[in-house]
Amino acid sequence: MMKAVEIAQPGGPEVLRSCEREVPVPAVGEMLIRVSASGINRPDVLQRKGLYPMPPGISDLPGLEIAGTVAAGDAAELAAAGFSVGDPVCALVAGGGYAQFCVAPIVQCLPIPRGLSAIEASALPETFFTVWQNVFDIARLAPGETLLVQGGSSGIGVTAIALAKAWGCRVIVTAGTDDKCQACVKLGADHAINYRTQDFVAEVKRLTQGKGVDVVLDMVAGDYLGREVQCVAEDGRIAVIATQGGNQSAVDAGLLLRKRIAITGSTLRPRPIAYKAKLAQALRQHVWPLLESGVVRPVIHQVFEAAQAAQAHALMESSTHVGKIVLRWS
């Protein structure tokens, strides 16, 4: 048996409770990971509220990213991927991460970058896969271009800042307080806009001398989408990855046409394993060297013991954090 955190019923943070479950058994193409730390992400909160059901056949336990050590798996399959039992590893999973043991497709597992702890590594998979997928793979952010990140102090936001700056890009972010704005600038953002006191459209136009940004990473949607169309450059790309501001958006289609703007939307959790494997390979090639050299570092806001998952979720929902929130399994 193993310790885990389950969702008793849809609701607030208090519905998260400690429990015991059977240790999962890895199927063909999977490894079993002894989990040292689990990253917390906004989709975990949505799942807890009953708004983001897990895909068919996936554990009902929340948790999309983990780090620990390889505990079991087919020796030949592990060896083919460069792993063996006992190796430090982090993984993107479709569920089941809030537990002492978790199974993961081997192709979605990556070695913990040299110099990083399991706590730090648990903050990598979900955010780095998501940012790479949307900012670099889909929106094709190129060196010298300008990126606007809506929600720069979130786990996704701080990751986008770090990777875009490492890519030689200019980064503008929005955040909800002056303190968060200052934190984003300290983390490398070139400019930070307090969206509560400033009009981000006007500020972006001012900061870009009217040109607009080349790429927008949008976690808000709602009325933000129409405003982003106003401040994106010609041939700009808007990547929508969440709808925290609502599902309905009004866009000036004429402006969309004249500027040749591409708007994309994506989710990662339900995508096929083969798709996620390609993202893992790209991260291993392009991003892991940046982590191992110290050019890019994960930003951890706070670490909670696993039994404090409810408190960790309450912090996530307060939106007062800068960077990642992590659960530790002792």
pLDDT digits (tens, 9 = 90+) for 60-110: 999 999 999 999 999 999 999 999 999 999 999 999 999 999 999 999 999
Closest Cα to residue 295, out of 116, 143, 156? Answer: 116
Token pair listed for 329: 């399994």
- How many whole angstroms separate alpha carbon 79 and alpha carbon 96? 24
Q: Span 131-148, mean pLDDT?
A: 98
**Helix and strand element counts for the chain (H, E):** 12, 15
Of the candidates 136, 191, 176, the one whose C-alpha atom is nearest the C-alpha of residue 159 is 136
| CATH code for the domain of 120 | 3.90.180.10
Predicted confidence at residue 54, as pLDDT, reads 86
Q: Bridge-partner residues for 66, per DSSP?
A: 38, 91
* Residue located via tokens 């190796």: 87
pLDDT tens sequence across 319-330: 999 999 999 998
Query: What's the pLDDT at 53?
Result: 87
For residue 306 the two structure tokens come to 């696993």
pLDDT bin (cut points 50, 70, 90) of residue 10 is very high
Q: Are residues 145 and 244 in the same domain?
A: yes
pLDDT at 207 over 90: yes
Virtual torsion, Cα 245, 123, 213, 250, nearest 10 deg: -20
Whether 212 and 249 map to the same domain: the answer is yes
The answer to whether residues 206 and 237 belong to one domain is yes
pLDDT for 263: 98
In what side-by-side order are the strands of the sheet with 262-265? 191-194, 170-175, 146-150, 213-218, 232-240, 262-265
Residues 305 and 323 in one domain: yes
Contact 153, 322 (CB under 8 A): yes
Note whether 61 and 15 are same-domain residues: yes
Q: Do 65 and 122 meet the contact criterion of CB atoms below 8 Å apart?
A: yes
| C-beta neighbour count of 101 within 10 angstroms | 24
The Cα angle at residue 141 between residues 193 and 159, in degrees rounded to 5: 55
Same structural domain, 246 and 134: yes
Structure tokens at 170: 């200019």
279 shares its domain with 252: no
Tokens of 79: 């060896």
- Domain carrying residue 111: 2-124+272-328
- Looking at 247, 265, 283, the residue that finishes a domain is 265
Sign of the dihedral defined by the CA atoms of residues 277, 171, 196, 239, in that order? negative
Of 319, 150, 264, give the one whose Cα is nearest residue 218. Answer: 150
Structure tokens that stand for 330 in this block: 């002792």
CA–CA distance, 91 with 213 (Å, rounded to integer): 33
Residues 261, 141 share a domain = yes
CATH of the domain at 198: 3.40.50.720
Same domain, 156 and 260: yes
Residue at a domain's end among 212, 242, 265: 265
Mean pLDDT of 169-193: 97
What burial class does residue 319 get, using C-beta atoms within 10 Å of its C-beta: 0-12 exposed, 13-18 middle, 19+ buried? middle
Last residue of a domain, one of 265, 287, 312: 265
Q: What residue type is assigned to position 133 of the chain? A: Q
Task: Say yes or no: 146 and 109 in one domain.
Answer: no
How is 95-148 classified by DSSP, letter by letter?
S--SBSEEEEEGGGEEEPPTT--HHHHTTSHHHHHHHIIIIIIIS---TT-EEE
Based on the structure, what is the number of domains in the chain? 2
Residue 120 and residue 132 in one domain: no
Residue 281: predicted pLDDT? 97
Extract the tokens encoding 220. 């808000």
Task: Examine the domain organization and report whether 145 and 256 are in the same domain.
Answer: yes
pLDDT of 46 higher than 90: yes
